[in-house]
Every structure is written in C-alpha cells, then in structure tokens.
Structure 1
Amino acid sequence: EQEIPDEEGEEESGEPEPPCPTESEIVRMVVPGTGGRTYRYVLVRSCQTFRRAQRQCSRCYRGRLASIHSRAVNHHLQCTVRARTKRSDVWIGAYASRRVFVSVHAHWMDHSIWNYSKWAPGYPKCFRKKCVTMCTARWRWGSRHCLGKKSPGVGEP
C-alpha cells in the first residue's frame, strides 16, 4: 500500500470518483531509456489534487504518478508537458518531508531509490509533507500543498 500524503487535518470530500479522461483529454508519451528500454507515460490535462491524480493513474491506467530517475527522461517529459499543456506545474510521484525539524528528504511514491532530482533553488520547502510538481516554466521541480489542484500530472501506466 502506498502512503499518499495529506495536509494534516484536511481530507478530501467523499465525492464520487470522476470518470476516466477521454483520449482527447490526455497525451500519451513514449520516452526512450537506456539499454533499449522504453518508458510510457500519460499526461492528463485536467486539474486534480495529488491524491486524486494518484488514484486516477491507478484506476484508469493501472499505473502511478511518475518517478523520474534521469536527466534525459526528465527533460523529455518537461518538453512534452510544456508543449502539450498550458499548465505550469504538473504532479509527479514524489513527496518531501522534514525529518527532525532539520533536513528535508524526498521520496518516490513507488519506493524506488531517490537517485535524481531537479529542484528549483530553495526547494524542497516544507514544514509538513508536500507533494512534488514538475514546473515547466522554470524547468525545475517544486514542492506544493498536496490538496492544491494541479494538472494530474505525468503518470506511468
């Protein structure tokens, strides 16, 4: 079971799950990786909270919000997102939290190793858990309140 960050004391309403996006509401991406491996991603253009975006990836695409492990994949995703949506921030599958009020650590939702990041200067910022966005305007990542509505982001089916 994946831990999905919340803002302390805040819950989403018990609204029913929205229908899965139509083909016209998504962008499918194929990104070449190392060793002949191919990565597949889906960008959903409608705005959602982090939790809803993660659930939508799971329910509609049997995937999860993306974990990004290389400069090449990050660059390809940012270029595609920037070209195919007007959103300046999209969710990716990470969250940041402060340990012992001293240092901030980031984690991928899929529990993969944290071996790459592209933080904007001064990020990640957090007192409580924050979810991570890919900021296409600045070509960097930021940390935001998980209950804020961003584009559901880039998911891996």
Structure 2
Amino acid sequence: MKSPLILPILLLGAVSALHLNNDALNLETPQTVEDLSPNLEGSGEQEGALALPDKVNQSEGEEKEASGCEDVLEDEEALGSDLEGGLDEDLQCPSEEDTVQIVGSPGCATCRYLLVRRPSRFSGAQHVCRRCYRGNLVSVHNFGFNNRIRSTVSGINQGQVWIGGTIRGWLRCKRFSWTDGSAWNFAFWAPGQPGGGKGRCVALCTRGGHWRRALCKRSLPFVCSY
C-alpha cells in the first residue's frame, strides 16, 4: 500500500534540489553595479555658489586637509587677523604710475575701482585698500562687472589678481565671504574650482576672468573698491 507514494516523493525531492542548485549559482554570479555617486567637481561657470562643494567624503576630506596642513597653516597666518587688525603706519601707498582706474559698476554711480599693479600678499593688499583708499578688496556680484575687471587686468603678466574673496571655516563648514562684508551671491569659478583648489583666498584669472583659490601668501596685483 505504501509503494504508490514513493515515486511522487522522489520527484518532489529532485525538483527541490534543482531549485537549490540554481539559487546557489545565482548567489555566486558577480553582479555589475552602476556607480551612482554624483560628480561634484565644478563645471567652471557657477553663479551664486554660496558654499564650498564637497568633492570627497568627510574622511577623505580630512586626509586631504591633513596632508596639506603645513600650507594651510601658513595660509591662515598670511591671512591671519590682519583683516580685522590695525593698519601699518609705515605703509607706502602705491604711486599713480602703479594704478589703473576701472570703470565703475552701472548699479553704483559713486563706486570707484582701482587696479594696483604692485604685487602684495592678500592681507597686505587689503591694508592698502583700507589705508590708502578707505575701501576694501573688490567684491564681484555679477558677470558684467567681472568682465570689466577682466578686460582691465588682461595685460598683467602675473596671470592672476586678488579680489576680496576668502574662505572661512574647515571641511564641511567652509564658507566663502567678501572682505567688505557684502553677500556672496555670485561666482565664476574655473574648471575644477573651488573643490580642487588650494588656498583660502580668491584670485581672478587675467585670461577668461575665471576665479581660482590661491595661497594668501602669494604676491599678486589686486583690485580695490572705495
């Protein structure tokens, strides 16, 4: 009486074993996973960039900061508290031959802008703008004015000039600001910038007018607004 049940049981066991083998093969087969991580590198022309984009994750970013800590510390020292501190009484103001007037912004009839061709560190340039012209390193808030500056500085052989942008804070807390305290509502970064740049001060390229991060201890010509 039991023999008729043996054949179905054997068939059921064979089918179950076949499914188990197939599942094992599927688990061992490697799967191709598309990399969905976003590309955060700058596109080169960014308007209204309010914060420094994170190009790497936090742990990698910390390693990058640590690897260049000597330059960063020197850069901090070059920028230092000079921007808020007292002015050097022995400061020599630029001669008229070392300066070039820049056509003002259409939105400000009383604003004046001056290119100083004598190179200086970022903090020294800010001192000159304050002491000699009662102003600040220039802030840039639209493409039209950025292009005016570019056309004026195009003959400078250093390749870059200081404008008033700086980076404050560390890692994910980095933020850009202007030395005159105005809003950071426009940016015109070069390809790969600002995430791939080095330095805590902002320079404008004489060719193309794009911006780059630069070490504040570099000596460059600069533009004052007053």
Summarize deviations over 1:97-142 as a string: whole Å, max 9, x none: 454x236421111221111110111212479861000011242000
Instruction: State the secondary structure of the residue aligned to 2:125.
Output: helix
Aligned mates of 2:163, 2:152 — CA distance in 1 = 14
Given the alignment of the two structures, is residue 142 of structure 1 paired with residue 215 of structure 2, yes or no? no
Q: Percent of counterpart pairs with the same letter?
A: 33
Q: Summarize the Cα distance change of 1:47–1:102 in structure 2 as closer, same or farther, 3 Å threshold.
A: same
- Structure-2-length-normalised TM-score: 0.57
Q: What corresponds to 1:113 in structure 2?
A: 183
Q: Which amino acid aligns with 1:112?
A: S
Give, in whole Å, the separation in 1 of the partners of 2:209 and 2:123. 24
By how many angstroms is 1:9 displaced? 5.1
Q: How far apart, CA to CA, are the structure 2 residues paired with 1:117 and 1:110?
A: 16
Secondary structure at 2:118 match in 1: coil
1:125–1:143 CA contact under 8 A, matched in 2:
no
The C-alpha deviation readout for 1:48-67, integer Å capped at 9, x for no partner, is: 00000000111111111000
Structure 1 unaligned spans of 5+: none
Residue 100 of structure 2: aligned partner: 27
SS of the counterpart of 1:51? helix
Verify the 8 A CA contact 2:121 2:217 in the aligned structure 1: yes
Counterpart residue number, 2:202:
132
Alignment check: 8 A CA contact 1:133 1:142 kept = yes
- Per-residue CA deviation, residues 26-46 of structure 1 (Å, 9 max, x unaligned), is 001122413x63531110101
Question: Corresponding residue for 2:160?
Answer: 89
Gaps of 5+ in 2: 1-72, 81-87
Higher relative contact order by CA 8 Å / sep ≥ 6: 1 or 2? Answer: 1
> Residue 155 of structure 1 aligns with which residue?
224
8 Å contact from structure 1 (residues 64, 93) kept in 2 = yes
What is aligned with 2:149?
A: 77
Partner of 1:54, secondary structure, is helix
Choose 1 or 2 for highest CA Rg: 2
Let me know the Cα RMSD of the aligned residues: 2.8
Larger % of strand: which? 1
2:29 aligns with none
How many pairs were matched up? 147
How many Å separate the matches in 1 of 2:165 and 2:113?
Answer: 16
Counterpart Cα distance in 1 of 2:74 and 2:209 = 26
